[in-house]
Chain A
Amino acid sequence: MSSIIRASKLGYDYYRYTDENEEPELNRAIDQVSLDVKEGQFIAVLGHNGSGKSTLAKHINALLVPTEGTMWVDSIDTAQEEELWKVRQKAGMVFQNPDNQIIGTVVEEDVGFGPENMGIPTDDIWKRVDESLAAVGMLSYRKHSPNKLSGGQKQRVAIAGVVAMHPKCIILDEPTAMLDPNGRKEVLKTIRELNEQEGVTVILITHYMEEVTLADYVYVMDSGKIVMGGTPREIFSQVDTLKSYRLDVPQVTLLAHELKQEGVDIPDGILTIDELVNALC
């Protein structure tokens, strides 16, 4: 498997303007970040607010260019300006607020927006729109106005809009943060299906621990650095370390951890209720 996204010692500085007369404060959003994502993987990036995870996401899509280090998307250096549109086509991005990323006034027109920008011939645009709406299960809503959809449905339309550009990799920046539990389930199911059935590489950025249990590999970020990396099981077996990064583990894992500390003989890193039931009975 070839690697699709590779980052080496990424650093990004920005100025924070506090007051008009004061000197701007230099801030480092991410620092010494190295990543290697293989094609077809499901990667999760965890971190609490302000840990730099969104900044990292914007680097993959070339919305930001690193101050230090290099980011390669499908072997293209994102700092090369002439390759910008190629990078953005290969690495599609879904944002947090569903309202602020839907451009079209009808679902199908919005999904067609990306292919239109890429200069795809009209017939192919329609084919892509049909395929991607089917892939997210929104085909029956194609003529609807996005304003009348639920949050989860809007987010699925946004995902379809990215899928229609035929990206190799989709980055989702807290796609479920503004959704209710049902919408969250819908969106996660869609993401997983895309990964499993279409083989799209997925990078899910989130602070919900439950969402990362499905990932192949998890990175944990804190104050701009990658502080942990491993399979969900490896990560969740270190409950105390996670707590020090102000992250909560899923409730089942926490229960298993507490039981273990009280002397019950169960393995580390329990992720689902079924696993705990099996370990206990």
Chain B
Amino acid sequence: MLRDITIGQYYPADSIIHKLDPRVKFIATLLYLISLFLFHTYIGYILATVFLVVIIKLSKVPFRFIVKGMKAIVFILLITVVFNIFLTPGKVLAQWWIFKVTQEGLIQAGRMAIRLSYLIIGSSVMTLTTTPNQLTDGLERIMNPLKKIKVPVHEIAMMMSIALRFIPILMEETDKIMKAQIARGADFESGNLIKKVKSMVPLLVPLFISAFRRANDLAMAMEARCYHGGDNRTQMKPLVYKRQDFVAYAVVLCYFAASIGMCVIGW
């Protein structure tokens, strides 16, 4: 279950999307997410779907790989859908006790489901095609102006990239601790929600201890390799815009302009 979250897991492949500048991908993802909330009718969603499918095809990431990452949010998706179906006022289609299913509710639920899943798929495509290091490099560059107001941009970026690197390791560790405790009779499955949460405590304590130990080791290894913050640091893969990046910007801006246009005419 824990291994299924694909956010933060890079899928190595040789594609145009992989080669794009992370800044382009970041801004494009942001614009795409905004555009999802601009559409009112299915015509807009068709545009969003086509755009997403084309990007996924170009990225050469297998579709089932992306879907695997969706499993983790199925629960949130379901809650949103259920709440939207029952709690949106409007024309009643069916009624049972105090629960009313309305036409508006169904439409709204469908819309939210599409938005949420596209939101996750869209950002997964970014994280699957960009190494976390590139991603944080991109963020660092985008946030660079903030350095003037003394925001520790480099440090934040470094923390993010380390966090991303350790997510799969800590996941694996959680799995291991869980299995070790199940082997000794711990029960994570049964009981109500409160009981389940309580049973997580003996899982979290060893996990935290091991995370701190890892942090300590890593800090030492980084220092041993001359890490001393962002000053006088060069980059192995400095970010330089190429022609393909400008083309990508143009494509994304066209898409965004189209979606704004559709929003204005109410599609």
Contact = CB atoms under 8 A, between A and B. Distances in A.
B221 A101 contact: yes
Nearest to A124: B234
Contacts of A117: 225-228, 233
Interface of B: 9-10, 12, 131-133, 161-162, 164-165, 168-169, 214, 217-218, 220-228, 232-238
Given A89-B226, A109-B133, A120 B234 contact: yes
Nearest to A121: B234
A29 interface: no
Nearest to A164: B225
A161 B131 CA distance: 18
A105 B131 contact: yes
Contact of A118 (B161, B226, B235): B226
B168 to A, nearest CB: 5
Given A63-B224, A117-B233, A105 B12 contact: no
A175 to B, nearest CB: 12
Contact of B226 (A85, A125, A126): A85
A114 B237 contact: no
A88 B225 contact: yes
A61 B12 CA distance: 35
Nearest to B231: A119
Interface in A45-91: 61, 63, 85, 88-89
30 contacts: A63-B224, A85-B226, A88-B225, A95-B217, A99-B169, A99-B214, A101-B217, A101-B218, A103-B162, A103-B222, A103-B225, A104-B165, A105-B131, A105-B132, A105-B164, A109-B133, A109-B236, A113-B225, A115-B234, A116-B235, A117-B225, A117-B226, A117-B227, A120-B234, A122-B237, A129-B236, A144-B12, A145-B12, A165-B225, A165-B226
